[in-house]
Amino acid sequence: MKKKSKNNAVSYFDMQFITSSISTTLVLLLLGLVVFFVLAANNLSVYVRENINFSVLISDDMKESDILKLQKKLDKEPFVKESEYISKKQALKEQTEAMGTDPQEFLGYNPFTASIEIKLHSDYANSDSIAKIEKMIKKNTDIQDVLYQKELIDAVNENIRNISLVLLALAVVLTFISFALINNTIRLAIYSKRFLIHTMKLVGASWGFIRRPFLLRNFWIGVLAAFIADAILMGTAYWLVSYEPELIRVITPEVMLLVSGAVLVFGIVITLFCAYLSINKYLRMKASTLYYI
């Protein structure tokens, strides 16, 4: 009995099992990359939007203590991610360093005004929302102006929208391709066992009994392939973040967990589903048909 069990284990994890696992791994890598790019692109769009800022120019008549109060009030608004107060002196210093000359020396006064630099949450980083925010802020008579680059914001949002549509279309196409490739791999594997399936039918085995070992085998193929694909994807992500730490804002742990989960679920579901369809195909066939397919 022990010897028989050992032989069964050997026949279960045979060369066909290994080749099917490798093929499935490659397809799951492709699918994992698609999921990764979709999620990473979303994080990248949020990162870009939240780094678009606009300047609230303050009147010279407003005291610094009142400006700081205004900043605290703005920080409580839902659209503000973060803000920074830049005094007249700081603005002069920054512009002097940028231009290489001090404009105060030949003008005789500091031409710059104090300002509050605001970075928005990504949901508000569009022209329509900023226009409403501008209108609200300008109700304060001590506000000289609100400056932002409308063309840049529109261009960024348009590009993000176009990239998202392309990635979504690519994800749909590659998902179908992945399904087709895994389905063909499993169908070929079960095709070689079609006469065995028919023999089991002849001796009275139920369809459920015949399906069970095939489904279990393909379940483990899906699990093994998914773990290998996840290990490669995780290793690559870790290397990218180690090489460029700033990428952690885009390649977050949450993104990689979602990618890993999607690959594992897809690997198990698709292999079981394709195996179920292929086995049922041969279970319905008559003996005479098996020779001509």
Whether 209 contacts 197, CB under 8 Å = no
DSSP 148: -
Q: Is the pLDDT confidence value at 6 over 70?
A: no
Mean pLDDT of 228-236: 93
164 φ, ψ (degrees, to nearest 5): -65, -40
Whether 185 contacts 271, CB under 8 Å = no
Query: Which pLDDT does position 230 carry in this prediction?
Result: 93
Q: Tell me what percent of the residues of the chain surpass a pLDDT of 90.
A: 10
* Comparison of pLDDT for 232 and 104, the residue scoring more: 232
Query: Which pLDDT does position 226 carry in this prediction?
Result: 93
Complete edge-to-edge strand list for the sheet that includes strand 53-58:
80-86, 115-120, 53-58, 143-147
Query: Which pLDDT does position 179 carry in this prediction?
Result: 81
Helix/strand/coil percent split, the chain, to 5: 75, 10, 15
Whether 43 contacts 249, CB under 8 Å = yes
What mean pLDDT, rounded, does the chain reach? 82
16 vs 19: CA distance, rounded Å = 5
pLDDT confidence of 287, banded at 50, 70, 90? low
Q: Which of 28, 33, 75 is nearest to 264 (CA)?
A: 28
Q: What is the pLDDT of residues 97-136, one digit of tens each?
A: 877 777 777 777 777 888 888 888 888 888 888 888 888 8
Q: Tell me what percent of the residues of the chain surpass a pLDDT of 70.
A: 93
Q: Is the pLDDT confidence value at 13 over 70?
A: no
The contacts of residue 259 (CB under 8 Å, 6+ apart) are: 32, 35, 36, 39, 230, 233
Query: Which pLDDT does position 5 carry in this prediction?
Result: 41
Reported for 235-239, long-range contacts at CB under 8 A and 24+ positions apart, including other chains, are 237/36
165 vs 229: CA distance, rounded Å = 26
Cα 228 to its chain centre, rounded Å, is 19
Q: What is the pLDDT of residues 166-217, one digit of tens each?
A: 888 888 888 888 788 888 888 877 877 777 887 887 788 788 888 888 888 8
Q: Pull the structure tokens for residue 195.
A: 């006469």
Q: What is the pLDDT of residues 135-169, one digit of tens each?
A: 888 888 888 888 888 777 888 888 888 888 888 88
219 φ, ψ (degrees, to nearest 5): -60, -45
pLDDT confidence of 288, banded at 50, 70, 90? low
